[in-house]
């Protein structure tokens, strides 16, 4: 028997209760029984995003919300600033370029967080910048950017939007949209929300909603102003992913009502900390200098990286994320966000030890698991 265990920072495992909710008979999205499901989703999402602004639910992966965060607020020829410290920062720049936006990038070495002073300098040098695009958690490098500090700088200007890809931050740690003055925050279902891929979320401040009125980038299906208009009627502009919404209502009940947001952040933070310490205890180095609790990136011992990941998947049944581009085969990224607890974490740490031993790494077998057990029980 090979039991498969998923430890990627999206998609993540889905709780049984959520899977059962999605197995219910399909209801019509214009029928009366759909309305309370949708209302539950949109109001609880506002709690999770910590905002009074509307949170629009789109059908698609997280990237559709990233695209909307460009196409709905800017016009071709507009200037934007992108914090580019990994694959997802690159994605912001690529989306902007696809819509004819003039992009200035702050390139951040992979594994490091952006220096807020660099953002201040770039904004001072270029008053035409209309939006700043950043990741709260840059999943490709397991790094957390200082969103609060960057937002304070952007907020000195009234004519510039602070746009945050919080796809692996919302529901992972505290990113209060309204309190920090964020204009657009996006996330996706297959991350902390414990759902399959297929839903994207985008919250828009009043300031961002004003930008939609003058934004001339072409758009039809993904029209956030149109979606916001239908929200109050507990409707979407087009047919929504009904089954995923039934799952979302259940997942939000677990996250918000039963566990609570603060307890969710604390659990995630704790298992991330335990994982980092366990990996360090057997001599492995961290990928990030400013680690995000969404996932932990560790460098694998020279020469055995690609083999080790293959062994974990094929022999032990553990799927974790590889590094991307220059990090391919060199690192392992272990997920903490969503439906994981301390004992899932001990299990994955034990499996990594098993694989390291099988691949000939010289260390005291059991040390990382011991370290994790000790820290968990503190």
Ligand X SMILES: *Cc1c(COP(=O)(O)O)cnc(C)c1O
Binding-site ranges for ligand X (CB under 6 A) = 9-10, 61-63, 88, 135, 137, 139, 165, 167-168, 188
Q: Minimum distance between the CB of residue 251 and ligand X, rounded to whole angstroms?
A: 16
User: Within 13 A of 106's CA, how many CA atoms are on the CB side?
Assistant: 24
**What three-state secondary structure class fits 142?**
coil
Rounded to whole angstroms, the Cα distance separating 186 from 169 reads: 9
Strand partners, 129: 79
Choose among 202, 194, 197, 190: nearest CA to 65. 202
Q: Which is nearer to ligand X, 29 or 144 (CB)?
A: 144
Q: Which is nearer to ligand X, 139 or 275 (CB)?
A: 139
Q: Minimum distance between the CB of residue 282 and ligand X, rounded to whole angstroms?
A: 27
Q: Minimum distance between the CB of residue 11 and ligand X, rounded to whole angstroms?
A: 9
Q: Minimum distance between the CB of residue 27 and ligand X, rounded to whole angstroms?
A: 26
Q: Contact 57/236 with Cβ under 8 angstroms?
A: yes
Q: Which is nearer to ligand X, 47 or 63 (CB)?
A: 63
Q: Which is nearer to ligand X, 37 or 199 (CB)?
A: 199
Those residues whose C-beta lies under 8 Å from the C-beta of residue 220, and which sit 6 or more positions away, are none
Q: Minimum distance between the CB of residue 295 and ligand X, rounded to whole angstroms?
A: 9
Q: Which is nearer to ligand X, 10 or 305 (CB)?
A: 10
Tokens of 8: 């990627």
Residue with tokens 């909307």: 68
Rounded to whole angstroms, the Cα distance separating 215 from 74 reads: 5
Q: Minimum distance between the CB of residue 125 and ligand X, rounded to whole angstroms?
A: 27
Q: Which is nearer to ligand X, 74 or 294 (CB)?
A: 294
Rounded to whole angstroms, the Cα distance separating 228 from 73 reads: 14
Q: Which residue is nearest to ligand X (CB)?
A: 62
Output the DSSP codes for 256-307. IIII-HHHHHHHHHHHHHHHHHHHHHTTPPBS-SSB-TTEEEEEPPTTTHHH
Q: Which is nearer to ligand X, 151 or 282 (CB)?
A: 151
Q: Minimum distance between the CB of residue 161 and ligand X, rounded to whole angstroms?
A: 18
């Amino acid at each position: 028997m090979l039991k498969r265990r998923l430890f990627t920072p999206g998609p993540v495992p889905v709780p049984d209760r959520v899977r059962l909710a999605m197995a219910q008979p399909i209801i019509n999205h214009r029928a009366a029984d759909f309305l309370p499901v949708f209302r539950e989703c949109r109001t609880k999402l506002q709690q999770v995003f910590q905002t009074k602004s509307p949170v629009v639910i789109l059908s698609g992966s997280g990237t559709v919300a990233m695209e909307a965060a460009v196409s709905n607020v800017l016009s071709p020829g507009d200037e934007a600033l992108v914090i580019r410290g990994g694959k997802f920062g690159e994605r912001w720049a690529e989306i902007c370029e696809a819509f004819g936006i003039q992009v200035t990038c702050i390139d951040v070495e992979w594994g490091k967080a952006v220096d807020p002073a660099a953002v201040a300098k770039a904004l001072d040098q270029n008053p035409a910048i209309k939006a700043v695009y950043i990741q709260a958690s840059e999943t490709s490098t397991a790094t957390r950017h200082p969103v609060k500090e960057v937002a304070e700088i952007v907020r000195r200007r009234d004519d510039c939007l602070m746009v945050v890809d919080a796809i692996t931050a919302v529901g992972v740690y505290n990113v209060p949209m309204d309190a920090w003055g964020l204009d657009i925050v996006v996330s996706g279902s297959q991350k902390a929300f414990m759902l399959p891929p297929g839903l994207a979320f985008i919250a828009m401040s009043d300031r961002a909603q004003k930008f939609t009125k003058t934004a001339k980038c072409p758009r039809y299906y993904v029209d956030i102003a149109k979606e916001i208009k239908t929200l109050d009627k507990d409707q979407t502009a087009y047919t929504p992913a009904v089954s995923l919404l039934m799952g979302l209502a259940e997942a939000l009940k677990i996250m918000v009502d039963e566990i609570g947001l603060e307890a969710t952040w604390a659990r995630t933070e704790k298992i991330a900390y335990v994982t980092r310490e366990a990996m360090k205890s057997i001599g492995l180095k961290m990928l990030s200098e400013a680690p995000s609790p969404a996932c932990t990136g560790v460098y694998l011992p020279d020469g055995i990286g690609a083999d080790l990941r293959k062994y974990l998947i094929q022999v032990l049944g553990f799927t974790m994320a590889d590094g991307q581009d220059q990090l391919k085969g060199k690192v392992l990224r272990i997920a903490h966000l969503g439906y994981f607890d301390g004992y899932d974490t001990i299990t994955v740490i034990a499996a990594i030890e098993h694989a390291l031993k099988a691949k000939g790494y010289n260390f005291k077998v059991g040390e990382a698991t011991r370290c994790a057990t000790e820290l968990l029980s503190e």
